[in-house]
Amino acid sequence: MLDLEVLHRPTTPEEAVRLYDATPGNGLYVAGGTVLVPAGSSRLDYLIDLSHVGLDYIRREGDGPAPDLAIGAGVRIADLARNAEVAAVASGIVRDAASAVATHTVRNRATVGGNIVVSHYPTDLPAALLVLDARLEVLNGEGTREIALTEFYGNRREVHEKGDLIIEVRIPGEGRGFAAAFEKLGRLKVDIAIVNCAAALRIDGDAIAEARVAVNGTGRPPSRLREVESFLAGKPVAVSTFEEAGRVASGSVEPRSNHRASADYRRKMVGVLTKRTLLKAAGIDDR
């Protein structure tokens, strides 16, 4: 139950960060509220509501055959899932990941920014965004700056400062043409992921020119599986390659146990989902 006396309702991102700096006590930004509002917090003094700051755009940035895709942090997950521009990028993995988020009602409230920052359970967008080398645009009182998503998750304490507001996710155009896939495993179909995984491939002839794999749900921040990626570089596109990649993936993670699954099971599932997303990305029918 939230119990607050102070709630700011800025109308621009700049006003939001100014209010953050100007308000005493512990504060947080709130967007969709699907996680924060029910959880509440006794250590919270105020909230800054982002409902009216805009940031709900999805647009191409730049010209040429491979423009970047800029996604405002306030875009609702449901809108991300049904946007044609999003579906056109990398086999539509961001759309697929967005479609896998929670329920239809939550997707109508939850936002891209929220799905990226929630850390106490594995959300569905990060793995897909990580394999596309997505970058975050962050605003604070001193201006805007970019943070690579890999840095955000790998080094969050250093790169993300108190009061930072994520305003945009940028998907670089160079990943547009990757053959990609996203898979999620829960106890039920509508569930928090035990593990989810994304893979993206650039294939040259019969060989893998570049591979990117990311997972979430190991009990640690979402991350790219670099060992798997190096293993795959230059390898032939073949079932055996991807089976081996799955084994490498399992060996490369150090998952934690919790009430949703044990570390051992997660390790195995990282392998299984790595193999499956790679097969799917490569268009190898697994029937």
Q: Which residues bind another protein (CB under 8 A)?
A: 1-7, 9, 30, 32-34, 37-39, 42, 47, 49, 51-52, 78, 102-106, 108-109, 121, 185, 187-192, 194, 258-262, 265, 268-269, 272, 286-287
- Work out how close the CB of 132 gets to another protein at its nearest, in angstroms, rounded to a whole number: 25
**Looking at beta carbons only, is 115 or 150 nearer to another protein?**
115
- Work out how close the CB of 234 gets to another protein at its nearest, in angstroms, rounded to a whole number: 26
- Work out how close the CB of 54 gets to another protein at its nearest, in angstroms, rounded to a whole number: 14
**Looking at beta carbons only, is 5 or 63 nearer to another protein?**
5
Distance of alpha carbon 172 from alpha carbon 202, whole angstroms? 15
- Work out how close the CB of 262 gets to another protein at its nearest, in angstroms, rounded to a whole number: 7
Reading the block at residue 143, the tokens are 């201006």
**Looking at beta carbons only, is 35 or 232 nearer to another protein?**
35
Q: Which of 223, 217, 177 is nearest to 200 (CA)?
A: 177
Distance of alpha carbon 4 from alpha carbon 64, whole angstroms? 49
- Work out how close the CB of 108 gets to another protein at its nearest, in angstroms, rounded to a whole number: 4
**Looking at beta carbons only, is 108 or 155 nearer to another protein?**
108
**Looking at beta carbons only, is 37 or 209 nearer to another protein?**
37
Range 32-38, long-range pairs (CB < 8 A, 24+ positions): 32/76, 32/106, 32/109, 32/110, 32/111, 32/114, 33/109, 34/102, 34/106, 34/109, 34/110, 34/114, 35/110, 35/114, 35/118, 37/2
Q: Could you tell me the strand order of the sheet in which 195-204 lies?
A: 179-185, 195-204, 207-216, 223-224
Torsion, CA 155, CA 160, CA 166, CA 82, rounded to 10? 20
**Looking at beta carbons only, is 77 or 149 nearer to another protein?**
77
- Work out how close the CB of 67 gets to another protein at its nearest, in angstroms, rounded to a whole number: 29
DSSP state string for 57-117: -EEEES-SSS-EEEEETT-BHHHHHT-HHHHTSGGGHHHHHHHTSS-HHHHTT-BHHHHHH
